[in-house]
Structure 1
Amino acid sequence: MQSLVDWVVRLTEILGAPAVGIAIFLENVFPPIPSEVVLPLAGFTVSQGDLNFWSTLIWATIGSVAGAWLLYAIGALVGAERLRRVADWMWLVEVSDVDKSLKWFDRYGGASVFIGRFIPGVRSLISIPAGIDRMNLLTFTLWTTAGSAGWNALLIGAGMWLGESYDVVEKYVGQYSTVVYSILALIAVGVLIYLIRRSRKKKKAPADSEDTTK
Structure 2
Amino acid sequence: MDSVLDCLSALGLGGVVLGTVLEALGVPFFPGAVVMILAGVLVHQGALNFPATLGAAFGGYTVGSVLAYLLGKNVGTPFFRRYGRFLHVSPEKLMQAQTLPAYSAGFFVLLGRFVPGVGNLTPYLAGLAQLQVGWFLLYNSLYALGWGTVYLGVGMFFGSRWPAIITFIQPRLLGIAVLGGLAVVAVMMHLDRKR
- Equivalent pairs, count: 174
Query: Within 5 A, what are the aligned runs for 1:194-213?
Result: none
**1:117 touches 1:124 (CA, 8 Å); kept in 2?**
yes
5+ long unaligned stretches in structure 1 = 197-214
* Alpha-carbon distance, 1:8 to partner: 1.3
2:97–2:125 contact (8 Å) kept in structure 1: no
Deviation at 1:71, TM superposition (A): 0.9
2:51 partner letter = W
Match of 1:200 in 2: none
Q: Given residue 143 of structure 1, which amino acid in structure 2 is its aligned partner?
A: Y
Shift in CA distance, 83/2, structure 1 to aligned 2, threshold 3 Å: same
Could you state the TM-score of these two structures normalised by the residue count of structure 2? 0.70
- Does the Cα contact within 8 Å between 2:80 and 2:89 map onto a contact in 1? no
In the alignment, which of 58, 62, 79 is matched to residue 61 of structure 1?
58
Q: Which amino acid aligns with 2:109?
A: V
Query: Which residue of structure 1 lines up, in the alignment, with residue 154 of structure 2?
Result: 158
* Structure 2 residue matching 1:126: 3-state secondary structure: helix
Q: 2:69 — aligned with what?
A: 72
In structure 2, C-alpha distance between the alignment counterparts of 1:33 and 1:86, rounded to whole Å: 23
Distance 1:69 1:83 in 2: 19
Match of 2:107 in 1: 111
CA contact (8 A) 1:43 1:160 kept: yes
The CA distance in 1 between the partners of 2:126 and 2:61, in whole Å, is 15
Supply the AA of the counterpart residue of 2:8. V
In terms of Rg, which structure is larger?
1
Q: Per the alignment, do residues 93 and 71 of structure 1 end up closer, same or farther by CA in structure 2, a change over 3 Å counting? A: closer
Aligned partner of 2:58: which letter?
Answer: T
Q: Distance in 1 between matches of 2:55 and 2:65?
A: 15
Which digits, 9 at most, give the CA deviation of each residue in 1:140-167, with x for residues without a partner? 1111111111111001011111114359
Matched, 1:142 2:138: yes
Residue aligned with 1:73, SS: helix
Given that 2:105 and 2:135 are in contact with CA atoms closer than 8 Å, whether structure 1 keeps it comes out as: no
Does the aligned pair in 1 maintain the 2:37–2:151 contact within 8 Å?
yes
Per-residue deviation at 1:133? 0.9
Query: Percent identity between the aligned chains?
Result: 30
**Residues 50-83 of structure 1, C-alpha deviations (whole Å, 9 max, x = no match):** 3221221111011011001111111112244665
- The answer for the alignment partner of 1:20 in structure 2 is 16
| RMSD of aligned alpha carbons | 3.4
Indicate the SS of the match to 1:20.
helix
Q: What is the TM-score with the length of structure 1 in the denominator?
A: 0.65
Q: Output the amino acid matched with 2:122.
A: I
What is the CA-CA distance between 1:120 and the residue it aligns to?
6.3
Match of 1:125 in 2: 121
Note the C-alpha offset of 1:105. 2.1
Structure 1 match to 2:42: 45
Matched, 1:11 2:7: no
